[in-house]
Amino acid sequence: MATTVAQIKYVNPARDGYKPSIKTEDGQSFGCKDHQLAIFERGQTYRIEYSERTFNGKVFKSVESAAPVEMGGGGSSQTGAASPGAKGNGYKTSTSPEDSERMFVCSLMNAFIQAGKIEPEQGRVITAVNVLRGAYARTFGSSNTFLASEAGGRRANG
């Protein structure tokens, strides 16, 4: 697996038969899964781990894991929360991790209820919320980092 640090130029959702992808300022393109797009933001810099495969003589790159990189002084890179007050709430973005999880769960719960997949009954709602919170933790977690090991299959501990 290879690693690169790059600034994002385009974030392209799936459409018209094309899979989701990102393109960097230096012209590299990477395929990714729909749920991985949520961590990428145009103009931001990320450390991207990717795999390569060749098909019909062309090399295709796929995102395996990615994490935002905050470029600090002294040539070192740092990740994580910004200093307090960066956007008024102590985070690099305007949404805290707790609110991000709530938005994820509420959005999907609303969609499931509207589609008739979940009845608005207390026991079923509680179960569904806990399943969605688990999915959020396994994909985005508190660091907003998608890990390839979280994508497929079950964890050894659960």
pLDDT one-digit tens code per residue, 50-103: 999 999 999 999 999 998 887 654 433 333 433 343 444 454 556 677 778 888
What pLDDT score does 94 carry? 60
pLDDT, tens digit (0-9, with 9 covering 90-100), for 19-55: 899 999 999 999 998 888 888 999 999 999 999 999 9
Give the mean model confidence (pLDDT) for residues 118-141. 84
Q: Is the pLDDT of residue 4 over 70?
A: yes
Buried b (16+ CB within 10 A) or exposed e, 103-123: ebbeebbeebeeeeebeeeee
Domain ranges of the chain: 2-71, 97-151
Binned at pLDDT 50, 70 and 90, residue 146 comes out as: low
What pLDDT score does 72 carry? 56
- Close Cβ partners of 147 (under 8 Å, ≥ 6 residues apart): 65
Per the model's pLDDT, the better-predicted residue between 29 and 156 turns out to be: 29
Contact 46, 66 (CB under 8 A): yes
Give me the residues paired with residue 46 across strands: 6, 68
CATH of 2-71, one of 2.60.40.730, 3.40.5.90, 2.40.50.140, 2.40.110.10: 2.40.50.140
What pLDDT score does 64 carry? 92
Contact 139, 131 (CB under 8 A): no
d(C-alpha 88, C-alpha 1), whole Å: 38
Per the model's pLDDT, the better-predicted residue between 146 and 61 turns out to be: 61
What pLDDT score does 125 carry? 87
Span of 42-46, 62-66, 104-108, 147-151 with lowest mean pLDDT: 147-151
Residue ranges with strand state E in the chain: 2-12, 21-24, 29-31, 45-55, 58-68, 70-71, 77-78
